[in-house]
Structure 1
Amino acid sequence: MAVNIPSISLNQRKKSFIGVQSPLGYVAGVGRGATGFTTRSDIGPARETNDVPDDRHAPPVGKRKKTDEEEEEEDLNDSNYDEFSGYGGSLFNKDPYDKDDEEADAIYEAIDNRQDEKRKDRREKRSKAELEQYRQERPKIQQQFSDLKRQLQEVSEDEWKTIPDVGDARNRRQRNPMAEKMTPIPDSVLARSMGGTFSTTLDPKSGLASAIPGNLSAVPGNLTPSGELDLRRIGEARNTLMDIKLTQVSDSVTGQTVVDPKGYLTDLQSMIPQYGGDINDIKKARLLLKSIRDTNPHHPSGWIASARLEEVTGKIQAARNLIMQGCEACPKSEDLWLEAARLQPPDVAKGVIATAVRSLPTSVRIWVRAAELEADVKAKRKVFRKALENIPNSVRLWKEAVELEEIKDARIMLSRAVECCPNSVELWLALARLETYENARKVLNKARENIPTDSSIWITAAKLEEANGNEKMVMKIIERAIQSLKSSGVEINRNLWIEAAMEAERAKSVLTCQAIIRAVIGYDVEEEDRMETWLQDAESCTNDGAFECARAVYAHALSIFPNKKAIWLRAAYFEKDHGTQESLDALLRKAVQFCPKEEVLWLMGAKSKWMAGDVPAARSILSLAFQANPNSEEIWLAAVKLESENSEYERARRLLAKARSSAPTPRVVMKSAKLEWSLGELKTALSFLEEGIHKYPNFPKLYMMKGQIETVLEQYLVARETYNQGTKKNPHSVPLWILFSRLEERLGSLIKARCVLEKGRLKNPQSPDLWLEAVRIENRSGNKDMATKLMSKAMQECPTAGVLWAENIFMAPRPQRKTASVDAIKKCEHDPHVLLAVSKLVWTERKLDRARDWFLKTVKIDPDFGDAWAYFFKFELAHGTETQQDEVKKRCTAAEPHHGEMWQQVAKRPEYWRKKIGEILEIVAKELPIPT
């Protein structure tokens, strides 16, 4: 018989422990009763040194702990030593963390916890503020619609009734799923309708009753005796049900709805949150304030704080109740009574104030609050008079009461007021204002007797005398005031008296103002510092708008120092800016009497007359100036300009001829040549220039004019020689080098032009104008790279030159111009060329308001910079109004600019030599390109 042995796979036959190392302490067959044994070879001493160790029962290498001796032991053999790195071994084989480190960490952790507790309050406040801000930025839906709820108060009753019902926005199929289903009507109904008869009943047998929801045919009373359904009764029942519902919400008397729209809106209003903070904070504050009130009920501040807390949270009635309790607890606190009057409605507040008056009859604030609560003037008068009976020495009550009275009654009350309050200066002065001239003098005399230490009474007396035409008494009163106050022990403060003089000027009391200045201007000033101090005082008065005070200061200074040219000039410029033509002429007449040798004063007088249109008077002044200064170049040239400007060319030529003979100077020769050039006599002008160059070879303007005239006559080679000689004689004249290079460039010799500029830079190192001209030559010739290189060299040699930084802004690519402008401002913050370049840059960016501000800043820093005025005027022509354009022209005319590259080119043209400042401004603005 064959036995079927099941086949066993190889994996099933192999045991899991075959080929695996035996576990620690394993003894084979110990489960079957076998015992382990140990031989001598297993013991250490019986083992030879060369035997292979048996580590089967040893602990694992990775888990065996080293002893302290092993950890501290270090290999100090010579084989382990290196002369550069020392003994070998790992620096990180030991655990660096020990008990000391653990203790330090614990200490630091405790410190961090302590610091965290200190910052807890601040962190909570910050989180609270962030939460409040979050709630304000993302309010709840109820808060978002609070304003709409508030607007419901304005809805009238009729509008409330006409509000339509909310419709169903769903489509037809969603509204009525059965709408698509149609129930066919029986033919009998159609036949009756076609027959013209109207039937009010339905036959239940027709099948329609079964289709009605709720099976109305089964309702008692809806069927006729014949068993038919009555549709009329169904309609009547529906109407009755609707009437019942309407009656439930209607008033039985008026038939209107019981719902009060105003009350409903009031409820909505009460739902609006009045406080946006945390409710928990309010609760804490309430508990804290309650404890304050309980522990110290006679402390008014606790009651006031509690009431204001309730007011802030919207519980006004609770605030009123609390404040009234506080008034009962502290009846002598006027702050509590005033707070109670504020919180109560006006009608109730009157009663509260009446109670307060009975408790505190001498409180001025409570009486004033009682008067404020009265709407009628008569009632207020009664309140104040009653208050004055209780508090007759209150200045505030007298002032409030007097303001409500007529003039006659006010005079009577003030006479009583000064008796009750004799130390009140305001009451005395108010009474003096209401009295007549004679009575006012008496009142002021009494006031001085009662208050001898107050200066305002004396000043008011001086104003009174001035107002009534007694001008001689003004100065006497001020002098007596100074003496009386000194005898009374009052310190005379010079600055305070000058401020009083300014106040007198604002009150149109000019004589009083001048008298005060004369009396105190020299008080407490060192003798050697008088002139400087007085000029500073005059300047400060001018800046404050007190022109009469400044004029008085200058007059006093000139009376002490009549021969000081600086004071006369400052006074003349002051009259020119803030005075009249007559005052300026009178001052200059006095000035030339005391300082006849000062040419500037004569010239200012002549120019003043000339600008006023009085040419003969200007000639007479200049003739007197000739007598005082016979050989003065300035006076000669001023006379020539006067004659030439008034088309008296022959007289101007004769004057110049006399000047060349009696006072020969290079400027006289230059003006002679310029006059002839302007009149078209170029050959005569050249002869004058040649003569002048022969006499004055070191005056570069003669070479420049001669070269320009020869260029106009197209004598280019002669002009080149003139410039060449001029640069040799005057190597430090930068404009001469520039004109020489432009002539070479005009002749097409670009290389020579570069050489000329390079020679000029060698003779004049660190000259930004020569560097700028070299850069522009390269730009005009199209060598942009060369121009950029030259600009970098120029800025290295002249790092603070504003003209170079300004040119560099517009040489940079458009995206980099803003950065270049920032760098330029850092290097040259107050340079007008840089400010003008920034103004043009802002203009190109179409930021008009900012561009206007930059233009204003530019012309303010340097009013003599004509190009800035021209660009400013061009900007206003493009983007400003007529008023702004006129303002720019007016300010430019007052500034009289003389410098600027484009300005000088236009102003020095022969055809424009008689143009006014305003005309030159328009011409320059027209020729300037719009910045791009």
Structure 2
Amino acid sequence: MAPSAIDKKNRLAFLSMPAPASYVAGLGRGASGFTTRSDIGPAREGPSEEVIADARAKRGEEAEVDPEQFQDPDNEYGLFAGMTYEADDEEADRIYEQVDEAMDSRRRARRETRENEELAKHRAERPKIQQQFSDLKRGLSSVTDEEWDNIPEVGNLTRKKRRRENERAYVVPDSVLVGDRSKAEYESSLDATQQALGGFVTPAGSTLDSGTMTNFVEIGQARDKILSLKLDQVSSSGISSTTSGTSTSIDPRGYLTSLDTLSSTHKSSAEIGDIKRARMLFDSLVKSNPKHAPGWIAAACLEEHAGRMVKARHLIREGCEKCPKSEDIWLEAARLHTNEDAKVVLANAVQHVGQSVKIWLAAADLEHDIKAKKRVLRKALEHIPNSVRLWKETVNLESSATDARVLLARAVEVIPSSVELWLALARLETPDKAKAVLNKARKSVPTSHEIWIAAGRLLEQEAFRVKEGEELNPTKRDKELAAVDKTIEIGVKELRNNKVLLTREQWLKEAERCEEEGSPRTCEAIIKATIGMDLNTDEAGLDDETLEVWMADAEGCEARGKVGTARAILAYALRVYPDRRALWRQAVDLEKAHGTRESLDAILEKAVQHCPQAEVLWLMAAKEKWNAGEVEAAREILDRAFVANKESEAIWLAAVKLEAENGELGAARELLVRARSVAGTERIWMKSAVFERQQKQFSNALETLSTALSKFPKAPKLYMIQGQIYQQQNNTSAARAAYAAGIKACPKDPTLWILASRLEEMAGRSIKSRAILDKARLANPKEEIIWAESVMVEERAATAASGATTPLTALGFALGWSSSPAPLSSPQAKSMLSRALQECPTSGLLWSLSIFSETRPQRKSRSVDALKKSSDNPIIICSVARLFWAERKVEKAREWFGRAVRADSDLGETWGWWLKFERQYGQAEQQELVRTQCVASEPRHSPVWQVIAKDDKNMGKSAREILELVANSLS
């Protein structure tokens, strides 16, 4: 080997040698070292499973069993597939399945609820096209016929040049016109050639040669012969046939009827196939089980449906022979036959099923003569004497009460357990004999509550019956009515002894039925005897739960129109709970709604005797007397109320109002002085100041207010009255000071802020007015009234800047909220309204301003947004009604006005708008209905109503008069 080769080999030998431990390739050239898995090499392998098992065996350890060693990866239950499936296993599996189903149903309900919510949210955000145009579709109902007729026809409005067809006309040669004319011509004469050769008359220009002349007589004879043959064929298929076609036994009317039947029963091929298959099935059924009556009936009905009545009657007749004990098949056979044949069928039926009531009744229905019906029914009673229905039908046919009484007497002897027959007999007897009949009935049927109720009603009728020549004795009548209560009470005990236990609800239904049938005292007796069932009514165990149950029963009866039952329930409850104010209030409301004036006075008198501390009952009693014009009686009631409630604020103020509105101003002032000394409440001091202001005694009013403010420095109404009095005296600085003091003492009262702002606005200081409202919004950020006032301040400022006059009276300010203004012209007002809706998104007042501040086409969409935000707000509902009014949708407007007052009947402006609407579109009855409902609701709030009602000029006016003034002021 050459030396050069050896040196080269030695130089490359390091490549096969392991690198030093700290060697990093390229370190001298600035490289950084890193290590990979290939540099480290595989980790050291541990002992195998066999080695570990041998070591454990040497040490005497048991091998660990893998729990999943024998587990089927595809079926976790396969391990026990070969074991016995016992009852315990089945019960365990069933319990687990029930648990899984319950959990799944719970998740399903939550999942469905979540999906429904998501779908509703999606529909609200992205409604369907159908929903977007639903209001336009509903609006089509108001389109008149003339408007429909005036709608233009659909045409091409694209202004594209359409291709016209048949625009060009060409001249037609004369030969074509002559040829077309000759095609439709006929010649009635033969030329010489045709006469010589013979031929048919053909169109002009053509000849049909036959060598002979045409014989039209033979053609007519052949036609007659063919028609005769057809008639002979038809006649031969009838009941009798003839040998000549000139005469036939066919009934022309029946023939036409049969043709109509055929045309009306024309069936499709599919229906015919179904009928054939059903016929085969029924045929197999009746042959395999001929004693099965429903099979025969179904087969006959099938043939009837197919129009084969003869076959149907044949089948049902055969079925009657095979199943003579089935009453249904006999009744079906009678139905399929005519009236006379049905009598024969039913006569045969009674030979086999003589105990069938339906057969006898069907036979009686076939008779048209009353005597024949009676004869059949009496024959039926000989066979079935214990049938209540047959006896009732027989009695109903009797026109004489005596004959009916005789029949019923025999009926109760034969069937003593029938309550209906006993009661019918008692109704036909005289009162004395009726008592004896009911006594016999009670002994025969001791478990019937109807008999005891009938006895009570009979005693009630006797109590109110006056014989000729005698006068009604109240004492005797009361005794007889007391016997009604005793009879029902004994009846309930006897029924309980005979194990007849009716529930409270069942007895209540019986009481309502008695009231409906004109027996109010029996109804009351049932209530007295049974209303305490299943309830704790012992003297030692009276509880509020029992009272609530009785009050709920009374409300339910009143809602169903059973006023007498409700009155009886409340009367019994008041005897048990005589000191419950709520119960007396419910009884008073019931009498006020459904009773008479005398009954209302009586219940109020009892109420104030049992609850002398209930101020509302005293006030209601005095008000009823006052409304009836009995002022002295009202004063007497209030005097008695003073004795029982010496420091009652409501009673003192009621007495003051009574004296003031009846012209006794001195007495009213004296009562107020006494009230301030005895009761001395904030409201009494306020009413004293208002009274002095109404009498134009401003100095006395201010003095009273000064004393009241020293006693009640946190009373906002006192500051309002003080400021208003100063405004009436044109003392702006004093009014400003009064409002400022009120705002400082009561910063959370929005009315004080608004009055202070309006004072500055009336003084021409709009900047100061805005500043006050800004502070008010900071103090009351969620107050809708302040935001609405801020919007109207900006609008009025813009209107004043444009040179228009602005109403600066209190009524003008109120109308700025409630009337229908033009769209907002001020950008500041629009911006303020947007901020207000962001701050109070559910405010009905602000949304109403927003609706009527838009242009007319945009108001509808704005009202939709308002209803989405607050659909139950009465102001928004009233605004929607006014929109319908503007569009002359009278019925919809009336409906929405009704919804508005049902949502809140305390808003007087809603009533005013409704009355104004009815004045324009309603009748006199509808207007009076609005007035009556308004007086009953007694509204007290809303801006315009309060301004008019609290005006000194309107002092003492009734709610009806205030309503008329409000309707007149709204625009």
**TM over 0.5, shorter chain:** yes
SS in 1 for 2:264: coil
Bigger shift: residues 208-217 or 517-526: 208-217
Which stretches in structure 1 are left out of the alignment for 5+ residues? 1-172, 184-207, 220-236
Query: Deviation of residue 431 (structure 1)?
Result: 0.8
Amino acid at match of 1:510: P
Alignment partner for residue 516 of structure 2, among 502, 506, 516? 506
| 1:831 corresponding residue in structure 2 | 873
Residue 696 of structure 1: aligned partner: 712
C-alpha separation between the residues in 2 aligned to 1:314 and 1:497? 55
Could you tell me which residue of structure 2 aligns to residue 343 of structure 1? 336
Q: Given the superposition, is the C-alpha separation of residues 866 and 320 from structure 1 closer, same or farther in structure 2, using an over 3 Å criterion?
A: farther
Distance between the aligned counterparts of 1:360 and 1:421, measured in 2?
22
The aligned runs of 1:619-768 (5 Å cut-off) are 619-682=635-698, 684-768=700-784
| Pair 1:182–1:496, CA change in 2 (3 A) | closer
Change over 3 Å in CA distance of 1:808–1:322 after alignment to 2: farther
| C-alpha distance in 2 between matches for 1:211 and 1:265 | 53
Aligned partners of 1:638, 1:241: CA distance in 2, in Å?
115
8 Å contact kept, 1:599–1:635: yes
1:176-212 Cα deviation digits (max 9, x unpaired): 95699999xxxxxxxxxxxxxxxxxxxxxxxx97659
- The one-letter amino acid paired with 1:479 is E
Displacement, 1:440?
Answer: 1.0
Give the whole-Å Cα distance in 2 for the aligned partners of 1:352 and 1:668. 94
Counterpart in the other structure of 2:628: 612
Output the aligned Cα RMSD: 3.7
The separation in 1 between residues aligned to 2:546 and 2:587, in whole angstroms, is: 16
Give per-residue Cα distances to partners, 1:380-403, cap 9 Å, x unaligned: 111111111111111111111111
- CA gap of 1:287–1:679, structure 2 versus 1, over 3 A, is farther
- Confirm whether residue 491 of structure 1 aligns to residue 501 of structure 2: yes
Instruction: Find the counterpart in structure 1 of residue 787 from structure 2.
Output: 771
**Identical-residue share of aligned pairs (%):** 46
Q: Distance in 2 between matches of 1:834 and 1:718?
A: 39
Q: How does 1:550-569 map to 2 (within 5 A)?
A: 550-569=566-585
- How many corresponding residue pairs? 717
SS at match of 1:271: helix
Q: Partner residue of 1:421? A: 415
Per the TM alignment, residue 784 of structure 1 is displaced from its structure 2 partner at its CA by 5.2
**Which whole-Å CA distance do the structure 1 matches of 2:898 and 2:184 have between them?**
80
Displacement of 1:739: 2.3
Aligned to 1:302, which of 289, 295, 301? 295
Structure 1 residues 303 and 636: CA distance shift in structure 2, 3 A? same
1:274 and 1:312 in contact (8 A); partners too: no
1:910 to 941, 944, 952: 952
Instruction: Using the TM superposition, name which of 659-668 and 448-457 deviates more.
Output: 659-668
Q: Partner letter of residue 510 of structure 2?
A: A
Give the direction of change, closer, same or farther, for the CA distance of 1:253–1:687 in structure 2 (3 Å limit): farther
Decide which of 600, 604, 607 is 1:584's aligned counterpart. Answer: 600
CA separation of 1:180/1:632 partners in 2, compared to 1, >3 Å: closer, same or farther? Answer: closer
Of structures 1 and 2, the larger Rg is shown by 1
Match of 1:205? none
- Confirm whether residue 445 of structure 1 aligns to residue 418 of structure 2: no
TM-score (structure 1 length as normaliser): 0.70
Give the counterpart of 1:472 among 470, 482, 487: 482
Task: Classify 1:445/1:914 alpha carbon distance in 2 versus 1 (closer, same or farther; 3 Å).
Answer: same
TM superposition shift of 1:721: 2.8
Q: CA deviation at 1:814?
A: 5.3
Q: Match for residue 882 of structure 1? A: 924
- CA distance in structure 1 between the partners assigned to 2:762 and 2:386 by the alignment: 93
The farther-off stretch of 704-713 and 604-613 is 704-713
1:459 aligned to which of 429, 453, 459: 453
Give the 3 Å change call, closer, same or farther, for CA 297–764 of structure 1 in structure 2.
Answer: same
Q: Quick check: 1:482–1:492 contact (8 Å CA) kept in 2?
A: no
Structure 1 CA distance for aligned equivalents of residues 530 and 770 of structure 2: 67
The Cα of 1:608 is off from its aligned counterpart by 0.7
State the alpha-carbon separation in 2 of the partners of residues 209 and 628 from structure 1: 129
- Unaligned 5+ residue runs, structure 2? 1-176, 200-214, 232-243, 464-479, 537-541, 799-823
Residue 551 of structure 2 is aligned to residue 535 of structure 1: yes
Indicate how the Cα distance of structure 1 residues 181 and 379 shifts in structure 2: closer, same or farther if over 3 A, else same: closer
- 1:796-843 per-residue CA deviation (whole Å, 9 max, x = no partner) reads 433444434444444456566555544544443433223323333444
Task: Name the CA shift for 1:754/1:476 in 2 (closer, same or farther; >3 Å).
Answer: same
| Separation (CA, whole Å) in 2 of partners of 1:522 and 1:312 | 60
Aligned partners of 1:642 and 1:690: how far apart in 2? 26
Alignment match, 2:365: 372
Matches within 5 A, 1:87-486: 177=181, 211=191, 215=195, 263-264=255-256, 267-268=259-260, 270-273=262-265, 278-279=270-271, 280-405=273-398, 406-469=400-463, 470-486=480-496
Residue 500 to residue 218, structure 1, CA distance change in 2 (3 Å):
closer
**CA separation of 1:645 and 1:385: change in aligned 2, threshold 3 A:** same
In structure 1, C-alpha distance between the alignment counterparts of 2:375 and 2:657, rounded to whole Å: 79
**1:895 corresponding residue in structure 2:** 937
1:420 positional shift? 1.8
Post-superposition offset of 1:915: 2.2
| Letter paired with 1:353 | L
Task: Specify the alignment match of 1:24 in structure 2.
Answer: none
Q: Which residue of 2 aligns with 1:923?
A: 965
Q: Which residue of 1 aligns with 2:57?
A: none
- Deviates further, 904-913 or 461-470: 904-913
Deviation at 1:460, TM superposition (A): 0.8
Distance 2:386 2:253 in 1: 56
Give the Å deviation of 1:434.
Answer: 0.7
Once residues 179 and 562 of structure 2 are traced to their aligned partners in structure 1, the CA distance between those partners, rounded to angstroms, is 85
User: How far did residue 617 of structure 1 move?
Assistant: 0.8
Query: How far apart, in 1, do the equivalents of 2:262 and 2:357 lie?
Result: 38
Q: 1:609 to 1:325 in 2, by over 3 A?
A: same
Q: How far is 1:274 from its partner?
A: 6.4
> Post-superposition shift, 1:260?
5.3
Normalising by structure 2, we get a TM-score of 0.67
Question: CA-to-partner distance for each residue in 1:774-804, whole Å, 9 max, x for gaps?
Answer: 2343444445554444444434433444434
For the 8 Å contact 1:275–1:312, the answer to whether it is kept is no
For residues 10-21 of structure 1, the aligned pairs below 5 Å read: none
Q: Deviation per CA, 1:153-174, whole angstroms, max 9, x where unpaired?
A: xxxxxxxxxxxxxxxxxxxx99
Moved more, 742-751 or 525-534: 742-751
* SS of equivalent to 2:572: helix
What secondary structure sits across from 1:872 in the alignment?
Answer: helix
Is residue 370–residue 383 contact of structure 1 (8 Å, CA) maintained in 2? Answer: yes
Query: 2: distance between equivalents of 1:283 and 1:779?
Result: 86
Give me the whole-angstrom Cα distance separating, in 1, the residues matched to 2:419 and 2:923: 52
Q: In the TM superposition, what is the alpha-carbon distance from 1:432 to its structure 2 partner?
A: 0.8
Shift in alpha-carbon separation, 1:330–1:878, aligned structure 2, 3 A:
farther
Q: Structure 1 residues 589 and 393 mapped into 2: Cα distance closer, same or farther (>3 Å)? A: same
Shift in Å, 1:373:
1.7
SS at match of 1:551: helix
Instruction: Name the aligned partner's letter for residue 434 of structure 2.
Output: A
> Is the CA contact (8 Å cut-off) linking 1:209 and 1:217 kept in structure 2?
no
The answer to whether 1:574 aligns with 2:590 is yes
1:745 offset after TM fit, Å? 3.2
**Matches of 1:890 and 1:628, distance apart in 2:** 34
Q: Deviation string for 1:215-268 (max 9, x for gaps)?
A: 49999xxxxxxxxxxxxxxxxx9999999999999999999xx99588447524
Residue 620 of structure 1 and its aligned partner are, at CA, apart by 1.2
